[in-house]
Amino acid sequence: MSTVIKLKKSETALSKPSTSDLVAGEVAINALDQRIFVRDSNSKIITIGEAGGKRHESATVEHVVTVATKTSKHRYNGTGSSSGYKIDGTFSPTLELVPGNTYKFDQADSSNSGHPLRFYYESDKTTSFTTGVTTSGTPGNSGAYTQIVVSDTTPSVLHYQCSNHGYMGNQVVIGTRNLTGLDTGDLGEGSNLYYTDARFDTRLGTKDTGDLSEGSNKYYTDARVLTKINATSIDALSDVDTTTASPSSGQALVWDGSQWEPGTVGGQITVQDEGSALSTSATTINFVGSGVVASGTGATKTITIAGGSGGLSDIVNDTSPQLGGNLDLNSNNITGTGDIGLTGDITITSTDAGSSNGPALDLYRNSASPASGDYLGQVAYSGENSNGGKEIYAKVTGKITDPTHNSEDGLIETAVKGNGSFTIVSRQRSDELQLLNSVGLSVAGNTTLSGTLNTHTIPGGTGTIALTSDLYTNSDVDTHLNQSSASTNQVLSWNGSDYAWVNNAGGGGGGGNAFTNIAVSGQSTVQADASTDTLTLVGAGLNTITTNASTDTVTIGTPTGIPFIKEDGSSTSLNMSVEAGTLSSAVSNLYIPFTKEDGSSVTTLVMS
């Protein structure tokens, strides 16, 4: 069965059929441009031939890229990745690109996922080529492509390869003269060997000046140089002038700022002693001292000052310099970083007759980040222990408690070694002195206190301060003190077995009630109703009551007589006295003796 090939023709310059002009497999001819086109299975219009060489394309030339498993039709089948690019359906052809044209490699097909197409100088992708190359989108997605604009400077050979996998593409050939990326490894030498350092060194090693033709520029020889020097005056040098002023004996060339000229040297040394010049200049300087050594046999002589009593030698290199006498700082400072170890005493003296704080010893911690708890310096007191080792027995330390600007706080801390380990015994703050870690206070002498003691105000004047161990030792007192049943103005009073709250009887001392209860047999009990209650004594009958405020006494008098009325109406009294004895309610008869008015006889009044 015969195959029918349908042809379509155009005679319009640069006319190229579109996909609407052809169906898959149809061919079109542009008779004017002498070009043949075909629509492939991917609905792309492909130029399959043209007479007279490649033409310039005003529009972008597009190639459809897909990825498939390599076959023997792929140039690098068996090398690198098992997958390869297909360009317009063909496995990685060699592409011929034309300078001035733009080529777009469409990677929208999903098979391109993970296989970005890029350009390289070498097939193994050693060096990337990016000039005129742009990319867009993600391979395997719509709109993804890699595009290259070819110019006269584009290398003549490039390689399109996957940036993630090896040898998936092939080469592109471009008709330019740019040999970028081409080196001698790509050339066959033939009879003209190219340069290498080894070849040059080998060739040069076989030659000498005898192989050269001098011409007008003669090469160097010692004899030629000596001859030239001997025949030429030093004045021939451009920066030497011995003509303007001819040199005399003893002179030397001296630089005047612009050239060398004859001048006098020596005899110009001025010797000074601590800034004061000697009266005459010198030609000889004499070094005196046991540590001074002069050496040298030629024109150069060396003066070595070994130090010792004559002064310090090279302190930087001398690991143990010594002073032969006192070190006078001459109003200067000693600065440095490190430790200073001394044996003996240190005396710091200030001659200031004013009220300054000198001499001062400043332990300065120059920290860029001061913080609470930082140590500011420490004075340690060391000695030997029984094993001959050095031991720190006590130390005083300065510390920061608050570094905040304008509200800084600090303290002094004292630590003493006891039983082989240090104990912080005290801290001196701006507002208190603390004794720490169960350290006691022993005072041999008088102590004056003001303020409070355990929040209790310390009284002035004389008296006794009771220590904690002396207060509230009786548990009964503690019990009553802590109960809430007491009333206003009541006080604690011992009742013989316990303390109890009772009404305060008042009085100047405020020590308690003058009485609580007064009981009389057969009578009602008199009880104090308040701390200011008053007990009143009333005299009745023959009894009299007298008081004495100065002696605080109350006297109850004895009866002096029983009043009687005589027959004539005048008053008299019947005196009586009770004989010694004890009156008892059991006595049935009471005998009361009477004395007559004349006092001569006594009779007895019997009452029953």
Residues 499-526: tens digit of each pLDDT: 777 776 554 444 444 556 777 777 777 7
Query: At a CB cut-off of 8 Å and minimum separation 6, what does 302 contact?
Result: 294, 295, 296
pLDDT of residue 586: 46
Same domain, 406 and 511: no
Q: For residues 412-432, give the mean pLDDT.
A: 90
Q: Give pLDDT tens digits for 153-203.
A: 999 999 999 999 999 999 999 988 877 777 776 677 777 777 888 888 888
Do the domain assignments include residue 260? no
For residue 147, the domain's CATH number is 2.60.40
Residue for token digits 């040059």? 200
Q: Give pLDDT tens digits for 368-388.
A: 899 998 888 899 888 999 998
Task: Residue 401: give the domain boundaries.
Answer: 375-435
Same domain, 170 and 39: yes
Q: How far apart are CA 37 and CA 51, in angstroms?
A: 12
Q: How far apart are CA 340 and CA 175, in angstroms?
A: 82
Do the domain assignments include residue 296? no
Asked which of 180, 201, 217 is the last residue of a domain, the reply is: 180
Residue type, 374: D
pLDDT of residue 127: 93
pLDDT of residue 2: 55
Nearest 5°: the CA angle 537, 541, 547 is 35
Same domain, 529 and 580: no
Q: Give pLDDT tens digits for 126-139.
A: 999 999 999 999 99
Domain total in the chain = 4
Percentage of the residues of the chain whose pLDDT score is greater than 70: 71
Q: How far apart are CA 600 and CA 535, in angstroms?
A: 45
Same domain, 103 and 47: yes
Same domain, 96 and 173: yes
Most confident segment among 170-179, 266-275, 293-302: 170-179
Mean pLDDT of the residues in the chain: 77
> Distances from the Cα of 485 to the Cαs of 306, 396, 473, 478, in angstroms?
97, 54, 21, 14
Same domain, 430 and 566: no
pLDDT of residue 318: 62
Same domain, 592 and 521: no
Nearest of 104, 151, 105 to residue 132 by alpha carbon: 151
Q: Give pLDDT tens digits for 53-70.
A: 677 788 898 899 999 999
Same domain, 514 and 583: no
Q: How far apart are CA 497 and CA 64, in angstroms?
A: 120
pLDDT of residue 510: 46
| 302 has a pLDDT exceeding 50 | yes
> Distances from the Cα of 269 to the Cαs of 256, 272, 280, 302, 305, in angstroms?
19, 10, 10, 18, 20
Q: Give pLDDT tens digits for 328-349.
A: 777 777 777 777 777 777 888 8
| 42 has a pLDDT exceeding 80 | no
pLDDT category of residue 574 using cuts at 50, 70 and 90:
low
Assess whether the previous peptide bond of 359 is cis (omega < 30° from 0). Answer: yes
Residue for token digits 């009880």? 527
pLDDT of residue 582: 47
Chain-centroid distance, C-alpha 165: 50
Same domain, 146 and 32: yes
Same domain, 423 and 567: no
Same domain, 387 and 513: no
Same domain, 13 and 95: yes
**pTM for the model:** 0.33
